[in-house]
A and B are shown apart, each in its own frame.
Chain A
Amino acid sequence: MRRLLIAIALAFSAVFLLLPLVNVFAQALSRGWAYYVDSLAHPDSLAAIRLTLLTSLICVPLNVLFGIAAAWAIAKFDFSGKSLLITLIDLPFSVSPVVAGLMLVVLFGAQGFLGAWLREHDIKVIFAVPGIVIATLFVTFPFVARELIPLMQAIGSEQEQAALTLGASGWQTFWHVTLPSVKWGLLYGVILCNARAMGEFGAVSVVSGHITGLTDTMPLRVEKLYNEYNAAAAFAVASLLALLALVTLAIKTMLEWKTRRELALAQTIGSVAPVEQPEKFDSNASNTP
């Protein structure tokens, strides 16, 4: 029974996890190392790599900022409509990327709500870089917030209140108390957000216009090379993205191990503190006068 179950699990993960991964690199190098390097050094591929990096550089910090603000608001304050807000934050996960892209076309496209105004001011959003950035913002929206909300809720706000009582300002409390306690969770959210930002295909594909060298991100470049029957070059670009996925997984595994430890630590401190601290406080108070 045990052997059978392990065999099924191994076979399933071999077909769906291991083989696809190894295959990317095998196909990328199928025409030799020189061809691999050449297809990556092609100007259009380089342009795609640059655009992907730029998009991620804009989207990740914005979503980090939002993620911290949202998690802070949800974990530390009570207000009505909280669960609705959490649902809304999760929304981009359940909307099809293609639909997300289409929404932006409806909003910013030539016949869209803002189309005429944008044309007057000579701003291009759809079929240009801003559209790609906004589409990526939409699909990567929940990542950081989702990681931080449960973490901040678990840690609670006692430590911050203590800092505030001791005279720290709001910002000081944030930088020295809140941020350090969630730093691993935050980093975790950042790498997931980054992986998705660099790898997004559906939403970006709808708004990009596929202009070679200008609005092709790496995943779009992969598709174009594949459609041009240049599989080896498509796999070469894809191998970079697969490498990114592997690095993401490695950091993620490491962080999971770390957050689990810190969360356990926070919980033990949390359960011990209410008993110990008041005593200390009292004894100090009685000693000083």
Chain B
Amino acid sequence: MGLTLFYLSAVVLIPICALVLRVCDMTWAEFWHQVTTDRALAAYKLTFGASFCAALANAVFGSVLAWVLVRYDFRGRSLIDALVDFPFALPTAVAGLTLASLFSETGWLGRFIVPAGIRGAFTPLGVVIALTFVGLPFVVRTLQPVIESLEREVEEAAATMGAGRLRTLATVIAPSLLPSIFTGFALAFARALGEYGSIVFISGNMPFKTEIAPYLIVMRLEEYNYLGAMALAVVLLIISFVMLAVINVLEQWANRFQT
């Protein structure tokens, strides 16, 4: 018990407190100036926008994937089921590297879609692609056990009572899955907000265009603008605390439905 607390405070709490303390030394005006520069605002906008799009893509396709993996039997099912965790296991740098090469003009996917005007590498779309990759397991893994626990009898009952497929989906299946989809969405979104490794490779990191907030922190550090870096870091830290609280509430909501 004592060891746990000691280690926890040494590795996690002290660094966080150090950061917050240093930022408290700044005046409010200075802090506000650092976190609301035009470049920072553009970076927040991209970070939030891309994270939202990626989490949304995962909520939609992840739900389909989870449903298919639980309910249908087809060749390669267990392979895909195992591969769903691949984004968790693959270092983010490798993810960014391989995605950037896939979507570049000469890449396996890029050579087909770049002529069609869809550029994946060095654009905001690339950021969304990378974030979709890193957030992919969240929705699928949150949803799978819930779909498994759904009772087919209820669906069959709805069908025998004359409900069409869509109606069964909307009134029977969706309400019990929705809380978990939201939880998965929030988890993927939270993960995407802080993501750095994969983005660095695919986005090109152009200020005002494809620069995400964590990258801007690194830039400030390299300019020896420590105060700027710390102020931005505190903003991200506050956002992650808020996301943590939101996820806790969502999980409690989802658990109510499960039992």
Bits for A141-162, please: 1 = Cβ < 8 Å to B, else 0.
1000000000000000000000
Question: Do residues A241 and B90 form an inter-chain contact, with CB atoms below 8 A?
Answer: yes
Q: Is the interface of B mostly helix, strand, loop or mixed?
A: helix
Asked whether A19 lies within 8 Å of B12 as measured between CB atoms, the reply is no
Say whether A27 contacts B98, CB under 8 Å. Answer: yes
Q: Which residues of chain B come closer than 8 Å to A113, judged between CB atoms?
A: 18, 21-22
CB nearest neighbor in A for B69: A9
B178 within 8 A of A: no
Closest-CB distance, B89 to chain A (whole angstroms): 4
Interface size (B, Cβ < 8 Å)? 75
Supposing A112-B18, A242-B94 touch, asked if A141 and B217 sit within 8 A by C-beta, the answer is: no
Q: How large is the interface on A (under 10, 10 to 19, 20 to 34, 35 or more residues)?
A: 35 or more
B218:A94 contact, CB within 8 angstroms: no
> Do B136 and A23 touch across chains, with their CB atoms under 8 A apart?
no
Is B101 among interface residues, defined by CB-CB distance under 8 A? Answer: yes
A20-B98, A91-B244, A112-B18 are known contacts. Are A99 and B91 too (CB-CB below 8 A)? no
Stretch of B35-43, B153-161, B189-197 that contacts chain A? B189-197
| B64 / chain A contacts, CB cutoff of 8 Å | 5, 8-9, 12
Interface of A is mostly: helix
Q: Which of A177-185, A247-255, A266-274, A275-283 contacts its partner?
A: A247-255
A17 touches B136 (CB 8 A): yes
Give min CB distance, B61 to chain A, whole Å.
4
B82 at the interface (CB under 8 A from A): yes
Cβ contacts under 8 Å, B221 to chain A? 102, 105, 206
Q: Write out the residue numbers on chain B whose beta carbons fall within 8 Å of the beta carbon of A104.
A: 15
Residues of B within 8 A of A97 (CB): 194, 196-197, 214
In chain B, positions 70-89 with a C-beta closer than 8 Å to chain A are 72, 74, 76, 80, 82-89
Q: Is A16 in the interface zone, CB < 8 Å from B?
A: yes
Q: Which of B118-177 contact A (CB under 8 A)?
A: 132-133, 136, 165
Q: Contacting A5 at CB < 8 Å: which of B72, B102, B196? A: B72
* B residues in contact (CB < 8 Å) with A: 1, 3-4, 7-8, 11-16, 18-19, 21-22, 61, 64-65, 67-69, 72, 74, 76, 80, 82-95, 97-99, 101-102, 107-109, 132-133, 136, 165, 190, 193-197, 200-201, 214-215, 217-218, 221, 226, 229-230, 233, 236-237, 240-241, 243-244, 248
18 A–B contacts, CB within 8 A, in A order:
A8-B64, A13-B83, A16-B133, A17-B87, A21-B83, A21-B86, A23-B107, A94-B194, A96-B233, A98-B215, A103-B15, A106-B230, A113-B22, A199-B92, A206-B218, A244-B89, A245-B94, A249-B82
Closest 7 CB pairs of A and B: A199-B91, A96-B194, A201-B197, A103-B15, A202-B196, A245-B89, A219-B93
